Chain A
Amino acid sequence: MIWIAESYAALRDFFEAGGDVLWAILVVTILLWTFILERYWYFRLIQPRKTREALEKWNAMSDHDSWYAREYRERLLSEIRVDASQFIIYIKTIVAVLPLLGLLGTVTGMIQVFDVMTVLGTGNPRAMAGGVSAATIPTMSGMVAALSGLYFAASLDKRAKVEVERAADLLRYH
């Protein structure tokens, strides 16, 4: 049980050293991973069902060659595309924003350093070190969080396209 308290204390120290921006990074990162996990869950469980439904609707049609039929197929595919690529733009945006948040943390940390210098002069490196850690920790966290999401952003984007392609293959003209 002690390790829980210890890791909690370590985490708390980390967040206190990193400053307020770290909380924003945490929130955004949680958001990012929620979206990523939601997408995997969607592709595993929801997507096959949706494709099946679309296929059933398509097969239920009497003719598959008229203008109406082609437009109807386009609609079915578009619905699949809209659903599959949902949230992926958020994932991409968050991956792009996380380093910016890190930069924000760096700037606020440097402001803290210069605040200390304003009050105490350059003679107190220990007091300035607090600001320096507040400057570097968010940068690192922002980078790490962005990198953690980078692969999934690309992979999910590709997955969405693949799913639409597969559905298009299934909805064949007779």
Chain B
Amino acid sequence: MKLMSNSLIVLGLSLGMMAFTAPVMAQDEASTLDELLQQVREARTEADRRYREREQRFIEQRDQQEDRLQEARDRHAEEEERQERLSEAFEDNEQELSELNDRLQVRMGNLGELFGVVRQVSGDAQGIVRNSIVSAQFPDRGDTVARLSEARALPSIDQLEQLWFLFQEEMTESGKVVRYPTSIVRADGTREDVDVVRVGVFNTIYDDLFLRYLPETGQLVELGRQPAGRYRNMASGLYNAEEGTINSMAVDPSRGSLLALLIQTPSLGERIQDGGVPGYIILALGLIGVLLVIERLIFLTLAGQRIKAQIGAGKPNPNNALGRVMGAYAENKDDDVETLELKIDEAILKETPALEARLGAIKIIAAVAPLLGLLGTVIGMIRTFQMITLFGAGDPQLMADGISQALMTTAMGLSVAIPLVLLHAVVAAQSKRLVQILEEQSTGIIATHADKLK
């Protein structure tokens, strides 16, 4: 197509030239027709020749273009061939690469697993070693294991052996009772260099004191609150024991958490604070009750002594109840028996309220204290449930705290009520005896005295 269009252009051009040149030549010295004819012929020949030349040139150029086209086509084919070759090579390489990768994976497989296991085990070991009481004796051994558990590179044989050694050491030490010098922190915060005895991985003692290992600081601290005396005696016995003898010893199988619990148990003062307002009301009531009991005890004892003295004495003494009753008799002894009896009854009636006073109040306090305790418990439970409403039941520790507070008031109510009930019985018995002396014996005593006077 391209070729044909080229030749058409060439032809068109040559025709145009022909039409253009003809009149020009006609103007040239055409003296005769023959000459003109000759001129025209020559001109035509000349034009023909020029046209042919140009045509020739065009053809040459066309051939040249064709050659270049061919050349370009050849190169294109060549390049395509090359591309094919390269992509084939690429695929080959790709495949080889993936094969090699697979082989790498397979060969890495065992080692990678080993690496994971080592990290996991050393992570576990770190926890054990960190919290172990043995670390108080060998303070630096946590570092190896920490390095191992955080390492990114594959562990070396040397490191693996260190890990193994650590486990072996922990096992061996857990079965030993050893004495070694170290520095401990006393309960008052001072440091002291002493010999301590470590019982396996369970307890460390100094004389009769149980020590606690703090993993955060790596220190041994004296427990602020020590276990019961029996256990301390065991500890002391073990601490001062001769080499090779057998001693009984109480160990903390939880490796320190039971002893830690002992410290966290709130003291009596903290417990009373837990009781809140109802707790304080109960305590105040209990105090009032005890004061009332003491007042009654003193009053009734004194009154009883005076009455006893009066029974022996002859003359009615107005400083005591019986004396006053006898005084009423002495004033009216000339009346007839019935009037006398009425007068004496009246005198007794006047005396009883003083003897029976405040007993009712003590009894009411003893009855109200447990009820107040119950009230405190209910208030505490309401608070606990409000907490559950706010924070959900997911945290048992939050709830347990509220409940133990709630129960505290019940305990306080009972602890106030029980002694008050017993004390009330004592005071009531005393008062009852005195009232009985007045009511049933006063006339008898008067009769005896009257007999004597007769």
Q: Do A117 and B397 have beta carbons less than 8 Å apart?
A: yes
- Chain B residues within an 8 Å CB radius of A117: 396-397, 399-400
B433 within 8 A of A: yes
Q: Do B404 and A75 have beta carbons less than 8 Å apart?
A: no
Interface residues of A in 58-107 (CB under 8 A from B): 67-69, 71-79, 81-82, 86, 89-90, 92-94, 96-97, 100-101, 103-104, 107
Could you say which interface size class chain B belongs to?
Answer: 35 or more
A73 vs B441: C-alpha distance when bound (angstroms): 9
Q: Do B261 and A75 have beta carbons less than 8 Å apart?
A: no
Selected from A28, A94, A118, A121, the residue in CB contact (under 8 A) with B404 is A118
Q: Do B440 and A104 have beta carbons less than 8 Å apart?
A: no
A71 vs B433: C-alpha distance when bound (angstroms): 18
Q: Do B445 and A94 have beta carbons less than 8 Å apart?
A: no
Q: Do A107 and B441 have beta carbons less than 8 Å apart?
A: no
Q: Which residue of A lies closest to B424 (CB)?
A: A93
A-B contact count (CB 8 A): 112
Main secondary structure on B side of the interface with A: helix
Q: Do A75 and B418 have beta carbons less than 8 Å apart?
A: no
Q: Do A72 and B447 have beta carbons less than 8 Å apart?
A: yes
Selected from B257, B410, B424, B448, the residue in CB contact (under 8 A) with A72 is B448
- Chain B residues within an 8 Å CB radius of A101: 414, 418
Q: Do A68 and B451 have beta carbons less than 8 Å apart?
A: yes
Q: Do A67 and B337 have beta carbons less than 8 Å apart?
A: yes
Main secondary structure on A side of the interface with B: helix
- Chain B residues within an 8 Å CB radius of A28: 422
Q: Do A76 and B444 have beta carbons less than 8 Å apart?
A: yes
A107 vs B414: C-alpha distance when bound (angstroms): 9
B429 within 8 A of A: yes
B291 within 8 A of A: no
Q: Do B436 and A118 have beta carbons less than 8 Å apart?
A: no
Q: Do A94 and B422 have beta carbons less than 8 Å apart?
A: yes
Query: How many residues belonging to A are interface residues under a CB distance threshold of 8 Å?
Result: 42
Q: Do A71 and B447 have beta carbons less than 8 Å apart?
A: yes
With A75-B441, A104-B414, A119-B261 as given contacts, are A68 and B447 in contact (CB-CB < 8 Å)? yes
Q: Do B396 and A100 have beta carbons less than 8 Å apart?
A: no
A77 vs B439: C-alpha distance when bound (angstroms): 13
B361 within 8 A of A: no
Least CB distance, B356 to chain A, in whole angstroms: 15
Selected from A82, A90, A115, the residue in CB contact (under 8 A) with B425 is A90
Q: Do B450 and A68 have beta carbons less than 8 Å apart?
A: yes
| 14 A–B contacts, CB within 8 A, in A order | A67-B447, A71-B443, A72-B444, A74-B444, A75-B448, A78-B441, A90-B426, A103-B414, A107-B414, A110-B407, A111-B408, A115-B404, A119-B264, A120-B257
